[in-house]
């Protein structure tokens, strides 16, 4: 693109370009530092997978909201709205039709491992949120490209 043509790009076009660049960055963030074999992953508790998945999910959401640039408090409110248990449960429900049988089994294991929910939450919502986190943690360790594919299907709102 010539320098003077850049002046004619709309803010929406720039934001779309930047979002595409972030998605490309997310795809290449790296493969998991080391892939574990299925037997090793099966030894990891669903609670531990959810712990890892929570961090990976939040990192994805934070990167999603990097563009357009905002003040930190706006980033924070956008991210918090997406990482709440209610929203995670909603995201899991939207992904269910896309999941493979072994992924559904991981979701089930995560749901059954959900204990000690906060008092403000319905137990079913907490179980679904934990299930999503368990799935994210599992896929991060075993199938990063599949994780990226599923995360990109989440209906995050800009």
The question of whether 7 is a catalytic residue gets the answer: no
Q: CB within 8 A of 135, min separation 6: which ones?
A: 53, 92, 99, 103, 106, 107, 110, 150
**Full 3-state SS string of 10-67:** CHHHHHHHHHHHHHHHHHHCCCCCCCCCHHHHHCCCHHHHHHHHHHHHHHHHHHHCCC
Catalytic residue among 7, 54, 122, 143: 54
Q: Is 107 exposed, middle or buried (0-12, 13-18, 19+ CB in 10 A)?
A: buried
Active site residues: 54
């Amino acid at each position: 693109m010539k320098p003077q043509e850049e002046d004619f790009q709309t803010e929406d076009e720039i934001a779309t370009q930047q979002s595409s660049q972030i998605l490309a960055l997310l795809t290449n963030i790296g493969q998991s530092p080391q892939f574990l074999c299925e037997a090793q992953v099966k030894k990891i508790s669903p609670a531990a997978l959810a712990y890892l998945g929570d961090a990976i999910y939040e990192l994805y959401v934070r990167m999603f909201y990097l563009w357009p640039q905002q003040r930190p408090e706006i980033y924070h409110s956008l991210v918090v709205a997406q990482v709440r248990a209610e929203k995670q449960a909603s995201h899991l429900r939207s992904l269910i039709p896309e999941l493979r049988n072994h992924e559904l089994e991981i979701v089930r294991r995560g749901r059954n491992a959900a204990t000690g929910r906060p008092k403000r939450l319905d137990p079913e919502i907490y179980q679904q949120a934990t299930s999503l986190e368990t799935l994210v943690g599992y896929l991060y360790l075993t199938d990063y490209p599949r994780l990226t594919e599923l995360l990109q299907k989440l209906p995050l709102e800009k």
